[in-house]
Structure 1
């Protein structure tokens, strides 16, 4: 993918800022009392290899622009991929026309000017990768080759793919905010199929980072995918029982996302959350701390401002097991009579404080129970907290893995699961916007044969 020089990037950033300024001026000219706009420009390369052959080579280039105008408490929005002056005028006109036909909403407004980001710190998010198609194909192929050579029981492959992406995002509004920054993201993943007798299994692994130098090696990704696949062969079913359940680290991220869904402002003001009216109450054991780090250098979800232009800040969502805050943007905060928490667009770099036990130590802590390594289905009820998911993993006795298990369902209620969290491991071995070690839950229902 062609790499922009520092000068090219700075020039493009300036140009996109000018587009935002032009849009805001045009909105004022057309009578809007307030306006906000965002624009992005991106480019990328993705290659996919399967069984040693190139399957796809995809170059992407994209522009996107959106504007929202306010006439008092009536608002309208429009978007376009055309960044020409005429298209800007047309987009603003379309947004104004929409606003003229909407009902007033007392919470349809921008955040207060004093909450806006006044500076854009360098969060080390921009690390372009000067890699050509041939080299990208070679890396993906070597990743798949490592997986296929790992064990004779690896009999097929879903392939390996490598991606590299560059983007610039700029946003601004009529409360004096305008800011933007460039980012990069690179990744490599592989998925293979194993067979032992009539039994077949599939698994995968991946690596992703802002900087290519931070990626795991192609060989290690391939071998990890194959190792996970082979370990699942010979899976058995369990009879129905209750037992401790340990969610392996990459699976436990889903439990954190369930928490976020329950404390999201829109769920709270719609009264559709199992954590409704629990602010300031203990929802986890006392040792639990869950927090956000939006200014983490090279973080995959780092951002200096949120989707409303509000400055982001580090915060505890849960401290000493107690729910400290909801996750609010300007609109949901208004609906709840609370200030925004700077989370328009979501939480950035969610973390849970990890404990002292590695994965082996967590298994010993569990003793006998189920280690979950994959979940299927969408059986999570955000209103009641009821949780029921198809699962596979390993049965553990005396702290040691005994055999793989499959075709089971685990069930419980998230309120009880959160309260019954026994330990969080320090075994997070992947990089992502959400990071956690394995979770050991005191007891859940396992439905099998």
Structure 2
């Protein structure tokens, strides 16, 4: 399944060509009168195979190119992009960006990130692991994954399995003389199964995603996990409306941390559209809570030595002893707020929620269920009922009712509701059962209480 990459790896040469093109366009932009300029160029290639009931549904080979240019005439900004890297298209893109900049309004916050903040060191972060899998092998692997799931008694149908192999090359260059090169791979396997029939039908799925194909789950374990999750949902019930403890399984708990990131990100803050406005330096979580950003995590899903503006990244605390230490800022939002960039233009870089609890414990999944005692385990959330402005949280959910630390029966068609401000303060424990498939790394999160709305 995971043969090593073929020796004819030309990624370094292609990165060099992208870098030369980016630097040349920056020079041409300056010659055209721009006071500053920046270029982002990328090439992404991939294979995506989908099978269902043992037959091929789709096979897709991709090769996408992108080239984006931003120029500044003083504090007037113009941006243009193209997917065509031939000289005529690049020139047209440059002309268009310059024309836009000459006619836009001045913005005091516009401009490149500060030159002294540019990254100077570029360590190997173990992000490049090409997968030399061809189409017949990918099809065979997808069939094997699906068959492993379908072999379980009670699985009655399949929504298919997919195999994806991808790699990307990117360059960011600007008129400070900065040129940053990045290359990375991302591969994934998934399968979605159906159990039961008619009104008793249930669906569930499982997947894995890794930088290296050698670290992917094997076909059998992936199919078994998807079948186990699907069968566990049979005979689901609704709950009566109540307030109770709620535990988010790791794969959905990271969504809570995502809402926190959104609320402390620059765009929401300078627009005054966040319930955590002016909360830097204030307690927003229990005193034992720690959330740290680790950009140099080897093989991490969002590891990088620099952000989308070339600013050097750094290990940093977001929440320390429950106190919000900083916001999540690029240079533009930082200037709007009168602050400094945190190296987060383009997003965060591996945010890690430390396991723990007020009593110093660090529990696996079974231990977290024991802490829950009697309450709701959430394994799926639906809908968009979350307001970054007010913190109001109301989403459809499914999962399991837990009694005495054991899953008693599956539940569905319920709504869970609270306010994120209260939810963050009422975190009882964070598990050591970390889901590694994301750049938001957290285990299960147990909350003291939420409102669960179901049958009247």
Take 2:367 and 2:182, find their aligned partners in 1: how far apart are those partners?
Answer: 42
SS of residue matched to 1:45: strand
Q: 1:119 aligns with which of 118, 121, 135?
A: 121
Moved more, 203-212 or 349-358: 349-358
Match of residue 420 from structure 1: 426
Shift of 1:434: 1.3
Query: Where do residues 48-63 of structure 1 align in structure 2 (5 Å cutoff)?
Result: 48-63=50-65
Match of residue 305 from structure 1: 306
SS of residue matched to 2:227: helix
Take 2:16 and 2:8, find their aligned partners in 1: how far apart are those partners?
Answer: 12
SS of residue matched to 2:59: strand
Match of residue 106 from structure 2: 104
Query: Against the structure 1 CA distance between its residues 381 and 7, is the aligned structure 2 distance closer, same or farther, given a 3 Å change threshold?
Result: closer
Q: Deviations over 1:123-142 (max 9, x none)?
A: 11101111111111111111
Shift of 1:360: 1.1
Match of residue 363 from structure 1: 369
Q: Deviations over 1:298-351 (max 9, x none)?
A: 111111111111111111100100000000000000000000000000101111
Take 1:309 and 1:113, find their aligned partners in 2: how far apart are those partners?
Answer: 9
Does the alignment pair 1:375 with 2:349? Answer: no
Match of residue 145 from structure 1: 147
Take 2:386 and 2:9, find their aligned partners in 1: how far apart are those partners?
Answer: 48
Take 1:312 and 1:155, find their aligned partners in 2: how far apart are those partners?
Answer: 49
Shift of 1:61: 0.6
- Please give the TM-score of this superposition, normalised by the length of structure 1: 0.98
Shift of 1:167: 1.2
Query: Where do residues 3-22 of structure 1 align in structure 2 (5 Å cutoff)?
Result: 5=7, 8-22=10-24
Query: Where do residues 291-440 of structure 1 align in structure 2 (5 Å cutoff)?
Result: 291-355=292-356, 356-440=362-446
Shift of 1:7: 5.6
Please tell me whether the aligned partners of residues 67 and 79 of structure 1 are also in contact (alpha carbons under 8 angstroms): yes
Does the alignment pair 1:216 with 2:217? Answer: yes
Please tell me whether the aligned partners of residues 262 and 274 of structure 1 are also in contact (alpha carbons under 8 angstroms): yes
Q: What is the total number of aligned residue pairs between the two structures?
A: 448
Q: Deviations over 1:43-98 (max 9, x none)?
A: 10010010000111100011110000000000000001111222222111100000
List, as ranges, runs of 4+ consecutive aligned residues in structure 1 with deviation greater than 6 Å. 1-4
Match of residue 267 from structure 1: 268
Take 1:178 and 1:128, find their aligned partners in 2: how far apart are those partners?
Answer: 24
SS of residue matched to 2:332: helix
Shift of 1:429: 4.2
SS of residue matched to 2:261: helix
Take 1:390 and 1:407, find their aligned partners in 2: how far apart are those partners?
Answer: 7
Take 1:6 and 1:300, find their aligned partners in 2: how far apart are those partners?
Answer: 25
Q: Deviations over 1:343-395 (max 9, x none)?
A: 00010111100131111111111111000010010100111100000001111
Take 1:426 and 1:7, find their aligned partners in 2: how far apart are those partners?
Answer: 38
Shift of 1:4: 7.0
Please tell me whether the aligned partners of residues 49 and 160 of structure 1 are also in contact (alpha carbons under 8 angstroms): yes
Moved more, 111-120 or 24-33: 111-120
Query: Against the structure 1 CA distance between its residues 96 and 197, is the aligned structure 2 distance closer, same or farther, given a 3 Å change threshold?
Result: closer
Q: CA RMSD in A?
A: 1.4
Q: Which runs of 5+ in 2 are unaligned?
A: 357-361
Q: Which runs of 5+ in 1 are unaligned?
A: none
Query: Against the structure 1 CA distance between its residues 196 and 54, is the aligned structure 2 distance closer, same or farther, given a 3 Å change threshold?
Result: closer
Match of residue 448 from structure 2: 442
Query: Against the structure 1 CA distance between its residues 430 and 411, is the aligned structure 2 distance closer, same or farther, given a 3 Å change threshold?
Result: same
Match of residue 359 from structure 2: none
- Please give the TM-score of this superposition, normalised by the length of structure 2: 0.96
Please tell me whether the aligned partners of residues 412 and 445 of structure 1 are also in contact (alpha carbons under 8 angstroms): yes
Shift of 1:166: 1.2
